[in-house]
Structure 1
């Protein structure tokens, strides 16, 4: 099992060309269900890999920040919730996998990316476009798969510690080891900051710092119990504590509907994830069987000056069996895969008032998956079909087909079509406990169908690659929030009209001589709901990361520039609480960092984020952090 994450011998960490987007040995694991890897050059859809050394070069601490460099991705974050949208979809349309575990909160149906910290040796895969045929509900927009390093990928002990402005104190430690037929790794990370104000400085306000502390402990390992039989286990614990500010709910106040300093308000999110599995290979590895079980247990609480004000508990139990058979007919390889998934999600309000229903609610789902893949020298074909059996909703069938063709040795054409589905979440079905959002148990699942075409072009002996993709999809039954009179209390419903998402994604990766590498991305996305532009989805997003590396990797420096175009958002500044559409200005963030080796295995590093001290809002009235700087040491033995 650990073999999937190993880099090819051709992809040398010390080589002058350190850009994995250029290297043709790059692999994808999340693109298929049989846990075997696929060369990215043979994938028939749109994908991006953020390699371990790219995370290191950009000194990424929050994975959400690295996702800003992926085409088609829009990131918006506030204290206690960071959302990621793929290709104009909703945040709860994106499936997030961490070491193969589905990590979304059953209550909200999405994962807070702000709680996912970068560990040494980790990597990220992003599949864009509907993936429900492989993974079931929650994957309308695509899949984000985070993989920590195993004991075979990164051996020995490593640690880093850093400190800086706003009381920042971060640290990470990791140990990995392996032997004949076994491997193990243990990792711990801490991200802590006093933060900066996130309320607008109106009438003397906007002075309360919004800090947070996030702690992660994770481990993974595998052991070969017998020839062809391997057992594996993964575990992860995340605790995030932080402050937040509320909006002003006094209609007579000049700041009504705006975020204001709210002393005493804070949140605490705690999550436990675990997976155990067994894999057996028969017929010299041609026929594989994989059985796994996983659990996610998430608790979220908010507090005010007088104590706990709200809370929820959600858990997910999931079991999967995947079997695959591969065979060759001449120069053509075939793989046939069958999978069955069973999933149970449960949720319970933990409202301290005693007035809300605090019983446990549950939803069950069983999915049957069939997948076929053909790999030839110049062309590739993939097809997947899934049938979901739901206990609360109507049964659904989703599909995905794709093909890729190497027109020349340097030009590849690809196309794919797929459908997706998203079941309503618990809060949409049953509402909030404070009476401001009434649930709707008659909601039906959202359905998506779309297609894409793309071209990948290599230039200058594979030192430069350019990819361009056009996509077009439609969403039926989109769940939206309505505010019916006379109470104007929010409640969800399904739209009768069609919502559309279409756009262009462009990515460039280049090795500029022996010292510089460049990654750049641009997206233009037109996402409309009933003919109106969707909120928090900039039409234009761009990024570029330029890295300089000294000979023998003795030092390096990286400049990252990220631009978000103007976007729309909803502001609750009307006393009826019916939202008013507002415009969020565009912004550009500039980050710079550098590192230098002090001795063998020890390096000094530093970075400045938001170098130009840009003042901007990702969400209406939530002011995002200004300039910050840190310096630190890292050691590896």
Structure 2
């Protein structure tokens, strides 16, 4: 019995590597790695941090970290963009437990509907990772993990109340025995909201329900994993002065079969299916109801072979994607297939560590693409590590760009080439500093061009190139009671076609978190300073500063906390002519029903 449970934990930990520290990440190479061995810049947000931070969705959590910027057209549930190191929102692959959930109609992720309360952990890779995750990952990767292998039998509930008549409640169940480990989470949120646009007096509300189920079990020498995540809700919004609303539903289903071929070779076969549906609840000016659908099935065969202290990974992926859309009279229904072969290997010898990866892609529309990535780490001294990386990325044109408004079936893929240099220095066991410099060149950016002013005809074309250069400096202190994280960013995100700044991206920012933790209570301050940004219509958005405060008391089986968003009630914009929340106070109670 004990062997069976051990096998479940070992295999679903993805590798049998002996890890040097307690902090482990799985996103950079799709297998477990000690975070000190990872070469790219990685953000890790654990469950404890998520529970302390005022956040309704993933975007609220990510905005406090250097290299991640958020654009939002209003409050809860409104359209949200994420810019990782200045890349476009559709240049970031967003994963739910390793399964990509980006919409195939727009290419962008729907961060505004991913509720923070069901998340165990978030791992963010800053920089291209297309060799590992394919299309969309030319700016970065956000892996949202809702399950854990460290499971004990327990049950918990939480309830939250706050400004804008916002209510949230949920339940979390976990179990573990000799045969299986699993968890179940349910969460709902409802808010009256506030006017999404600056010229509206009508509140635009949002409601959402999320279900997350995960189960892992062993059958003989094999292991099986099943995961299902669904979120469904309604959002009211403002469209040119008209109050509208839409329903949205997202499903991510994944089944994985693991089998040890030998003591050193683990093979896994996974099948995942995602659905992204948006339905407008009113007719457009033509009398039609608009909608967009994405239905994607991915078959993935992955192999991990342990070679001394290194892991060689190789595999193949097939993606079958169906999209359908009806928007303001433009309608299409399209099927797209793609195939990939991939491999990556990390070598460690003495003070040196090298990571190399490659991916070959065969796509229905643009043909073949071969990607590569090379990374190097050198242990200069016991306290100092140096980094260098060089690689390529790509994004396949989404269905809207090819067949929607201004559709152009002959679009090429967007491609990138990046370089990064960095250094980590450990002053002591508790204090660390890191410096990263990077450049990402993106070619053949897709833009909508007015080609006939008389007929008001538009077409999507590959017309722009971008160059994003940046410098990130980070200081971190971690001790028993104190946690300090201070990060500064200098960035130059340029459209090289007209030498303009890329929209909604700041050149300078400063992020900070200060936490004091005690056995019986905690206090946390989050701060953000951002410089001015350019927006549509050549509008300049003013720079702004934000502070959030949260504090809580721990009881034997409960935690009571108060969280204040926008502590000093600052007026600011993340998108031109769209409102942001004022000072908002939320009270939350979390109760453990079992030990």
CA change 1:474–1:590 in 2 (3 A) is same
**1:185 CA displacement:** 0.4
Give the TM-score normalised by the residue count of structure 1: 0.86
Q: 1 CA distance for matches of 2:28 and 2:575? A: 32
The DSSP-based 3-state class of the residue aligned with 1:444 is coil
CA contact (8 A) 1:2 1:150 kept: no
CA displacement, residues 292-341 of structure 1 (integer Å, 9 cap, x when unaligned): 0000011102234889742111111100001121122xxxx232221101
CA contact (8 A) 1:152 1:183 kept: no
- Residue 491 of structure 2 corresponds to 525
- Residue 300 of structure 1 corresponds to 278
**1:357 CA displacement:** 3.4
- Residue 191 of structure 1 corresponds to 189
Q: 2 CA distance for matches of 1:5 and 1:600? A: 32
How many pairs are equivalent? 572
Report the more deviating stretch, 41-50 or 308-317.
Answer: 308-317
The DSSP-based 3-state class of the residue aligned with 1:477 is strand
CA contact (8 A) 2:54 2:548 kept: no
List aligned pairs for 1:28-427, cutoff 5 A: 28-33=25-30, 36-79=31-74, 80-119=78-117, 122-150=120-148, 152-153=150-151, 155-200=153-198, 205-227=199-221, 229-247=222-240, 260=241, 262-263=242-243, 265-284=244-263, 286-304=264-282, 309-328=289-308, 333-350=309-326, 356-358=330-332, 360-427=333-400
**1:71 CA displacement:** 2.0
CA displacement, residues 327-375 of structure 1 (integer Å, 9 cap, x when unaligned): 22xxxx2322211010011111245x8x5435x2011110000211113
CA change 1:100–1:514 in 2 (3 A) is closer
Q: 1 CA distance for matches of 2:459 and 2:330? A: 17
CA displacement, residues 475-527 of structure 1 (integer Å, 9 cap, x when unaligned): 111111212322344431102x532111011222113x643211122222211
- Residue 456 of structure 1 corresponds to 424
Q: 1:611 aligns with which of 551, 554, 567?
A: 567
Q: 1 CA distance for matches of 2:200 and 2:569? A: 16
- Residue 5 of structure 2 corresponds to none
- Residue 541 of structure 1 corresponds to 509
- Residue 583 of structure 1 corresponds to 540
Q: 1 CA distance for matches of 2:383 and 2:232? A: 47
Q: 2 CA distance for matches of 1:90 and 1:470? A: 19
CA change 1:121–1:212 in 2 (3 A) is closer
In the alignment, is residue 442 of structure 1 matched against residue 405 of structure 2? no
CA contact (8 A) 1:78 1:622 kept: yes
The DSSP-based 3-state class of the residue aligned with 2:340 is strand
The DSSP-based 3-state class of the residue aligned with 1:478 is strand
Q: 2 CA distance for matches of 1:232 and 1:502? A: 41
**1:3 CA displacement:** 5.2
The DSSP-based 3-state class of the residue aligned with 2:316 is strand
Question: Cα RMSD between the aligned structures?
Answer: 2.0
List aligned pairs for 1:9-24, cutoff 5 A: none
The DSSP-based 3-state class of the residue aligned with 2:148 is coil
Q: 1 CA distance for matches of 2:10 and 2:72? A: 35
**1:408 CA displacement:** 1.3
CA change 1:4–1:538 in 2 (3 A) is farther
In the TM superposition, structure 1's runs of 4+ consecutive aligned residues that sit over 6 Å from their partners are 305-308
In the alignment, is residue 480 of structure 1 matched against residue 438 of structure 2? no
CA contact (8 A) 2:54 2:564 kept: no
Stretches of structure 2 lacking an aligned partner (at least 5 in a row): 1-7, 14-19
- Residue 555 of structure 1 corresponds to 521
CA change 1:131–1:514 in 2 (3 A) is closer
- Residue 556 of structure 2 corresponds to 600
Q: 2 CA distance for matches of 1:423 and 1:66? A: 28
